[in-house]
C-alpha cells in the first residue's frame, strides 16, 4: 500500500513547477521577438505612441522615456531584449526564483507604465488596461505560490542550495528548514542498566 502511494505521488504533476515553466516559455517567446530588427526600428515610435493623449501631469514621465528613446533607441532596444531573455532563462531554469520573480514584476510594471502608457489614455474607445500589468500579477502569484509550496525540486536553485548555504536567501521565499517539524530524540533503553535496577528493587523488597 505504501509503495503504491509513493509511486502515485511521484507521478503526480508538480503544479508550481509546471506553471513556472509554462510562464517561462511565454517569456522566452516574447524575448525572441524583441531580438528581431522590427522591434529595434519601431522602438522610439512605440514610446511616442504611448505618450500621445496622456494627461498633462504625466508629460514629464513620458518626456523622460521618449527623450532617451530618440537618443539611445538601439541601446534601449537591445537592453530590453537582453533583460527579457535573462528573465525567461531564470524562470525556465528556476534560477534565483525569488529574485527573478521580484525583478520580473518590477520590470513588467515599468513596461506597463512606459511602453504601454499605463494602459491608456483612458478615453472613449479604450478596451483594456494593457498586458504588462497582468505579467506583474503573475510574477507576484508565482512568488506567493513559492512561499506556500516551499522549495522546488525541479530547478537549478535546488542544486545550488545544497552547495551554497547562503543561496537560500536569494532563491526561496520560505526555506525548507523553517517548515520542517522538530522530531524529539528518544534514546534506546539500556538492558544492563534495566537489569541492575530490577535486581536492586528485588533486594530492597527482601530487606
Tens-digit pLDDT profile for residues 57-87? 999 999 999 999 888 999 999 999 999 999 9
Domain ranges of the chain: 14-121+128-176
How far apart CA 77 and CA 107 sit, in angstroms, is: 14
Are the C-beta atoms of 43 and 73 separated by less than 8 Å? yes
Q: What is the 3-state secondary structure (H, E, C) of 131-184?
A: CHHHHHHHHHHHHHHHHHHCCCCCCHHHHHHCCCHHHHHHHCCCCHHHHCCCCC
For residue 121, say if its preceding peptide bond is cis, omega within 30 degrees of 0: yes
Confidence (pLDDT) at 121: 79
pLDDT in tens, 151-185: 888 899 999 999 999 999 999 987 655 433 444 55
Confidence band, pLDDT 50/70/90 cuts, at residue 149: confident
What are residue 180's phi and psi, to 5 degrees? -80, 130
The residue-averaged pLDDT of 3-32 equals 78
Confidence band, pLDDT 50/70/90 cuts, at residue 3: very low
Average pLDDT, the chain: 83
- The larger pLDDT score, comparing residue 159 to residue 8, is at 159
- The larger pLDDT score, comparing residue 14 to residue 97, is at 97
Amino acid at each position: 500500500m505504501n509503495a503504491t502511494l509513493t509511486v502515485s505521488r511521484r507521478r503526480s504533476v508538480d503544479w508550481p513547477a509546471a506553471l513556472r515553466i509554462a510562464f517561462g516559455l511565454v517569456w522566452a517567446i516574447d524575448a525572441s521577438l524583441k531580438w528581431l530588427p522590427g522591434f529595434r526600428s519601431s522602438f522610439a515610435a512605440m514610446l511616442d505612441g504611448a505618450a500621445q493623449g496622456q494627461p498633462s501631469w504625466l508629460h514629464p514621465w513620458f518626456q523622460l522615456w521618449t527623450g532617451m528613446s530618440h537618443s539611445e533607441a538601439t541601446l534601449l532596444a537591445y537592453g530590453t531584449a537582453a533583460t527579457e531573455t535573462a528573465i525567461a532563462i531564470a524562470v525556465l531554469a528556476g534560477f534565483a526564483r525569488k529574485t527573478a520573480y521580484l525583478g520580473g514584476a518590477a520590470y513588467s510594471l515599468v513596461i506597463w507604465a512606459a511602453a504601454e502608457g499605463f494602459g491608456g489614455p483612458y478615453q472613449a474607445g479604450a478596451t483594456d488596461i494593457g498586458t504588462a500589468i497582468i505579467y506583474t500579477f503573475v510574477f507576484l502569484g508565482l512568488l506567493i505560490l513559492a512561499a506556500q509550496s516551499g522549495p522546488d525540486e525541479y530547478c537549478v536553485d535546488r542544486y545550488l542550495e545544497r552547495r551554497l548555504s547562503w543561496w537560500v536567501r536569494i532563491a526561496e521565499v520560505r526555506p525548507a528548514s523553517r517548515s520542517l517539524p522538530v522530531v524529539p530524540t528518544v534514546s534506546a533503553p539500556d538492558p544492563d542498566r534495566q537489569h541492575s535496577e530490577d535486581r536492586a528493587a528485588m533486594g530492597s523488597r527482601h530487606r
